[in-house]
Chains A and B, each alone.
Chain A
Amino acid sequence: MTFHDALFLILATASAVSALGVVVSSSIIRSAIWLLFMLMGVSGLYFFLGAEFLGAAQLIVYVGGTMVLVVFGGMLTTRGPFDHVPVGLVGWVLGGGLSLALFALLVQASLSFVSHPRTDTALPGTGPLGLTLLGVPETPGQTAYLLPFEIVSIHLLVVLIAAAYLARAKRRPTSTHPEADHG
């Protein structure tokens, strides 16, 4: 077993165990922390695969941004200090059975893939990636992705406005105040 394989095994086991933790823990905050470790494991796998920019983006956007929101959401909506919502047996059997069947199917499909040899050329770094997103293909004739990039930008703007609108503080109607009525 080479150093590479050992590293892969460690990262993969960590991600898989954390993903399992998300499923089985009944407290929402614990699930969120397990998910956090899963995301870190996956970003480690990105680094392992040589996609450094993606690994860093995963850490900055997912772990540093999205997950903080989710953890806050969890903290704001739990009742009591360590709120547990247990799952019934029927739920486990149905959901687990369904997922196990799907997992078996996917494993069978993925093992039937012909294993590509690992190419040791470095993945394109930050520069080519950014140029592709700005519509400059790496080699002439390849596809560039300016339109998806623009669509995503507009989408982000829309989401920003929508989330601010949805989460704004509501002004309570003042006329229902009891003292204002008999004035």
Chain B
Amino acid sequence: MPEFNLIYTALMIGGVIAFVMGTVAYLILAERKVAAWVQDRLGPNRVGPWGLLQPIADGGKMFLKEDVIPSHVDKVFFILAPIVAFSTALLSIAVVPIGPSTPPPAPQATVAEYEAAQAAYQETFTFAIQPGLDIGILYIFAIGSLAVYGVILAGWSANNKYSLIGSMRSSAQIISYEIPLGMAIVGVLLFAGSLNLETITDWQSQHGWFILFQPLAFLLFITSVYAETNRLPFDLPEAEQELVGGYHTEYSNSMKLGLMLLAEYAHMITTSFLMSILFFGGWSLFGLENIAGETGIGALLLRFGILGAKVFGFVFLFLLVRWTIPRFRFDQLIGLAWKVMIPLAILHLLAALLVRHFELPYFALTALSVLLFFIAGAASVRTSSAQKTRRKQARSATREHATVGA
């Protein structure tokens, strides 16, 4: 682990937070612009050229608006909830390498060799607040599992039935989807042999991206991520049409609501980074592996650009999916997690174990992954058609019953 330097770390934290906040502010504008584009409208275009100053206007409005705390709420938790939501969203980015990275040294044969490798690693610069943390991705999951408290506290403290229903739905959803989220990446960890994000990136730049070997794991991961971030098609906790605003119903449109929304978008950015790093090779790109050893400013900028483009692609996908797929029903949502995704994740893990143990070529896992996906699809089509015929029979039976009764 590189030596701890207070000033450097503080600067890094400030830089990353500024970067995330700025991106989040413009994400909200981008969300509205994409929505307008999908629905063939213009979108916000009054403040500044093409509406580019809209985030500043929104932020100013949120800061200046009167902060109403309703009299029937539990005040401590009401104030605490946005803080919890926001701080967990920001904390989890600490181990994500936001730029080109070098992996920490693997254990060497002798202590002297290891120390030399460590010393060389100390010299290199990695664009992460805490590079070289052994438990890397586990830390992100640990912090992510705290995020549910922001929702629970907001719903409970508001003392309002819409909020409570929204928060109960949300916590059930977040807890259910944490399981496939964690299990989907175990296959990745098995092959990379490390929990450290930098090592995982390095493995992919040598052997190829994980999306090529484990497409099913990526599908499970991205679905769980959409559920974890409460985005459509899984945005039941705040389904406007049924629950007013879900768990943030009682928050007036002030900075507390703003923190809740910012947390959601910050979460989107972190998970986009995770998807690019875990499955799409981070800053590596086909044909550009040879720049891995170069240290010039041009190579550095190029790697930044590659990672940034991948992250931007995932964020854009988030925004686009919102306007393409309708919302799930709640029983379908929980059923999807427990009856489809967790068994699939277990089967996929089994396949990964087999390939790893018998040292089959990596593309055997791709084949198994795709095969599993089609088997699951066929099974779900069969059960749903069986359900449909059963329902039809039941309906005709009741109709007969009704005519006999008449």
Contacts and interface: CB of A to CB of B under 8 A. Distances in A.
A56 B94 CA distance: 14
A75 B145 contact: no
A14 interface: no
Given A56-B138, A56-B142, A68 B148 contact: yes
Contacts of B138: 53, 56, 60, 126
Contact of B133 (A3, A30, A52, A82): A52
B142 A36 contact: no
Contacts of B152: 68, 71
A33 interface: yes
Contacts of A71: 152
B74 to A, nearest CB: 6
Contact of A63 (B80, B139, B145): B145
Given A75-B156, A81-B159, A64 B146 contact: yes
Given A33-B153, A81-B159, A126-B195, A64 B134 contact: no
B362 interface: no
A125 interface: yes
- What interface size band does chain B fall in? 20 to 34
A56 B171 contact: no
Contacts of A45: none
Contact of B145 (A30, A59, A81, A125): A59
Given A3-B6, A126-B135, A126-B195, A60 B141 contact: yes
A60 B142 CA distance: 5
Nearest to B149: A36
Nearest to A43: B142
A105 B38 CA distance: 70
A41 interface: no
Nearest to A81: B159
Contact of B171 (A40, A59, A72): A72
B77 interface: yes
Given A52-B135, A82-B74, A125-B134, A59 B159 contact: no
Contacts, number: 60
Contacts of B159: 81-82
Interface string A39-57: 0100100000000110111
A38 interface: no
Contacts of B171: 68, 72
Contacts of A60: 138, 141-142, 145
B9 to A, nearest CB: 11
B135 A64 contact: no
B178 interface: yes
Contacts of A56: 135, 138-139, 141-142
A56 B135 CA distance: 8
A142 B138 CA distance: 28
Contact of B135 (A3, A30, A43, A53): A53
A22 interface: no
Contact of A55 (B74, B142, B146): B142
A36 B156 CA distance: 15
Contacts of B379: none
Contact of B156 (A29, A55, A68, A126): A29
A71 B168 CA distance: 11
Contacts of B149: 36
A137 to B, nearest CB: 17
Interface of B: 6, 72, 74, 76-77, 80, 133-135, 138-139, 141-143, 145-146, 148-149, 152-153, 156, 159, 171, 175, 178, 195
10 contacts: A3-B6, A33-B77, A33-B153, A52-B134, A53-B138, A56-B139, A59-B142, A64-B146, A75-B156, A81-B72
